[in-house]
Structure 1
């Protein structure tokens, strides 16, 4: 069973994007140096998620993938410290491992140093090993630790470079498209409300008055969302941070979408009794996009839409999931769905491909991450991780 720590590690790995590349040439020099300094024939950078060990850079052999159950490094990952084993056959942790028994390899000497991110999450190891027993001098063990820190430095540098690589042109396009997609219908809505308030013949004045007041209030909230989102897109964003009742924010998003939910006969279940640090307006935009997508695509596929939203605390923040019973998204398309103007194979479903790009930008503005996977309901699951910055600094 996957633990909260497993999921945090997986989410952190996803932010680096290393597993998808199929290899990390920038790290080859570091693993070569690790093998040389430790006097062994083989060294490897292992990234270990909740299911797999990914060898993303290797010296002395071709990198591959193995199940976490077979991984030697996964056994010691939770300790987050340097490990040195002279002969793995004599160590109870490794004696029956397929990399020791000959089923997959004949490892004897083994040493590893953890890869710890700046947020304190252990995502894998820098490992050296050989098929004969061996040992390391203290200075060699120290060198392995130092090189492990440099591996994380390389991954951090590549992540930051990728994030900062968004051009001003993209930001301008993003802001313009948001304006076109949201401001025009908002203007039309408010114009019609003004006409209704000024000239509608009212038969049931209290009922109509309440409805119009509620509609005007919803329009004002939409205007606030658009203004904040446009400001964020154009300037890089200034969050209005505070303690956010996430359940209330999600419920408000559902209330704003009451007409669309009723039209598609959708059911939305909320189980997210969390208080998180964030910008309430931007988080409302995020969940409105996620719920709208879930309802829209499930309905278009001929299903009676079911959306389940759940949240729970982790050791370093909060994990929220939005599940639906729609058609889902093929694995090789999932990352691409978060790109600007990307709609995938959506057929006749209306939209401009802005929803998930907007959600990722908002998640990143909060220091968080967002991704897509299969849902237990049969459709898509969007997962969102929001960090507890105080916990990460502790």
Structure 2
């Protein structure tokens, strides 16, 4: 039976990604230095999990894997600390070990220092050994400990570098989505301000107050979106708010943000969304804004005046939202592909398909589903199903 300590050790080892990899030059350099400092023929970095000993770097032998039962270092890792054994044949821990008896090797002198992670988990050893009896003076023993610490430092540095690289990739995608989502309210804000500035007599213009109020509203929506989406990103994209969402008010904001695009395309956008699903209002607004903006863009690109209908109603265990357009539609074979990051249905159209990729992540973070069908007008229908957290039953497949 695997102990909790073994599980913890295995998880710590997995975080370093060293099992099954070619020996890293920096680790090879350390084992070569350890052998030279200790005056022996062989030095090895051993990583020990609940089943095996993995030699991830070695000098004097070819790195290999052996069972934990055959490992000399496994016999001492339970009590991490420096071990120096002048003659392993005389030590009860090693006298019958196959590395000592000749079944695998003829080890006589053995010394090791544990590899202990910053959280205190011993994952292996830096070990030196020889076929002749030997010993280490205090300065060499301290050097062995120092080199073991340096190995852990290197493993930690590589782990952090991988994490930063992954974070940078996520940050790049997130930055792209932020710029995508903010473009619409920013366009609305700019348009409203230009309209006010172009008024012949701004002070007395009867519409100036209304125009500036709409500009202020667009700015507030943009600020709200920045704050809420950044909070969502800091939580790892897995913790949306859970509150009652006035979907009609959300759609009003979406239409306001897309005002320039709607006007330019002569679009007819209608919404029948008199429901209050549970979710994150800012994130759901971003989803609907992406979907409606795509409907406008791709329908207009096909040379048609866009007609977009947004509908929402309760279904068993939750709510269903659909966005239908009269555009060219998405071929059935492409309906899954367009949800992948940086994919889009029409390779000749402007813009990247980053929106739908993020829409799926947001909907799934709510426990829901999103997909594409054909609309009654022959265009595209994007459907979204959101679960009601208070409902005992799951939303069934027929909710599509």
TM-score (ref. length: structure 2): 0.51
Q: Which residue of 1 aligns with 2:202?
A: 202
Q: Which residue of 2 aligns with 1:343?
A: 344
Q: Which residue of 2 aligns with 1:7?
A: none
1:173 aligns with 2:172: yes
**How far apart are the structure 1 equivalents of 2:384 and 2:241?**
19
Structure-2 change in CA distance of 1:244 and 1:188 (3 Å)? closer
Whether the aligned pair in 1 keeps the contact of 2:188 and 2:258 (CA below 8 Å) is: no
Q: Deviations over 1:21-70 (max 9, x none)?
A: xxxxxxxxxxxxxxxxxxxxxxxxxxxxxxxxxxxxxxxxxxxxxxxxxx
Q: Deviations over 1:59-98 (max 9, x none)?
A: xxxxxxxxxxxxxxxxxxxxxxxxxxxxxxxxxxxxxxxx
Q: Which residue of 2 aligns with 1:356?
A: 356
Question: Residue 277 of structure 2 aligns to a residue in which SS?
Answer: strand
**How far apart are the structure 2 equivalents of 1:197 and 1:267?**
25
Structure 2, unaligned runs of 5 or more: 1-165, 395-400
Whether the aligned pair in 2 keeps the contact of 1:340 and 1:357 (CA below 8 Å) is: yes
Q: Which residue of 1 aligns with 2:295?
A: 294
Structure-2 change in CA distance of 1:171 and 1:234 (3 Å)? farther
Q: Which residue of 2 aligns with 1:382?
A: 382
Structure-2 change in CA distance of 1:354 and 1:223 (3 Å)? farther
Larger deviation, residues 226-235 vs 275-284: 226-235
Once the two structures are TM-superposed, the CA of residue 285 in structure 1 deviates from its matched residue by 1.1
Once the two structures are TM-superposed, the CA of residue 361 in structure 1 deviates from its matched residue by 1.7
Structure-2 change in CA distance of 1:244 and 1:327 (3 Å)? same
**How far apart are the structure 1 equivalents of 2:274 and 2:282?**
18
Question: Residue 342 of structure 1 aligns to a residue in which SS?
Answer: coil
**How far apart are the structure 1 equivalents of 2:219 and 2:279?**
22
Q: Which residue of 2 aligns with 1:365?
A: 365
Structure-2 change in CA distance of 1:333 and 1:247 (3 Å)? same
Whether the aligned pair in 2 keeps the contact of 1:245 and 1:274 (CA below 8 Å) is: yes
Q: Which residue of 1 aligns with 2:49?
A: none
**How far apart are the structure 1 equivalents of 2:317 and 2:375?**
23
Once the two structures are TM-superposed, the CA of residue 325 in structure 1 deviates from its matched residue by 0.6
Whether the aligned pair in 1 keeps the contact of 2:330 and 2:380 (CA below 8 Å) is: yes
**How far apart are the structure 1 equivalents of 2:305 and 2:183?**
30
Q: Deviations over 1:255-309 (max 9, x none)?
A: 3222211221111121222111111111111111111111111111011111111
Whether the aligned pair in 1 keeps the contact of 2:187 and 2:260 (CA below 8 Å) is: no
Structure-2 change in CA distance of 1:243 and 1:336 (3 Å)? same
Once the two structures are TM-superposed, the CA of residue 194 in structure 1 deviates from its matched residue by 7.9
Q: Identify the structure with bigger relative contact order (alpha carbons < 8 Å, sequence gap 6+).
A: 1
Aligned counterparts, 1:44-63, within 5 A: none
Once the two structures are TM-superposed, the CA of residue 343 in structure 1 deviates from its matched residue by 1.8
Q: Deviations over 1:148-175 (max 9, x none)?
A: xxxxxxxxxxxxxxxxxxx645422221
**How far apart are the structure 2 equivalents of 1:346 and 1:324?**
19
Structure-2 change in CA distance of 1:309 and 1:181 (3 Å)? closer
**Number of aligned positions between the proteins:** 227
Once the two structures are TM-superposed, the CA of residue 199 in structure 1 deviates from its matched residue by 11
Q: Which residue of 2 aligns with 1:224?
A: 224
Structure 1, unaligned runs of 5 or more: 1-166
**How far apart are the structure 1 equivalents of 2:269 and 2:392?**
32
In angstroms, what is the RMSD of aligned CA positions?
Answer: 2.9
Structure-2 change in CA distance of 1:316 and 1:169 (3 Å)? farther
Whether the aligned pair in 2 keeps the contact of 1:193 and 1:216 (CA below 8 Å) is: no
Once the two structures are TM-superposed, the CA of residue 187 in structure 1 deviates from its matched residue by 7.0
Q: Which residue of 2 aligns with 1:332?
A: 333
Q: Deviations over 1:95-126 (max 9, x none)?
A: xxxxxxxxxxxxxxxxxxxxxxxxxxxxxxxx
Whether the aligned pair in 2 keeps the contact of 1:190 and 1:216 (CA below 8 Å) is: yes
Whether the aligned pair in 2 keeps the contact of 1:171 and 1:234 (CA below 8 Å) is: no
**How far apart are the structure 1 equivalents of 2:184 and 2:257?**
14
* Structure number with larger C-alpha Rg: 2
Q: Which residue of 1 aligns with 2:257?
A: 256
Whether the aligned pair in 2 keeps the contact of 1:175 and 1:234 (CA below 8 Å) is: no
Higher helix share: 1
**How far apart are the structure 1 equivalents of 2:207 and 2:344?**
40
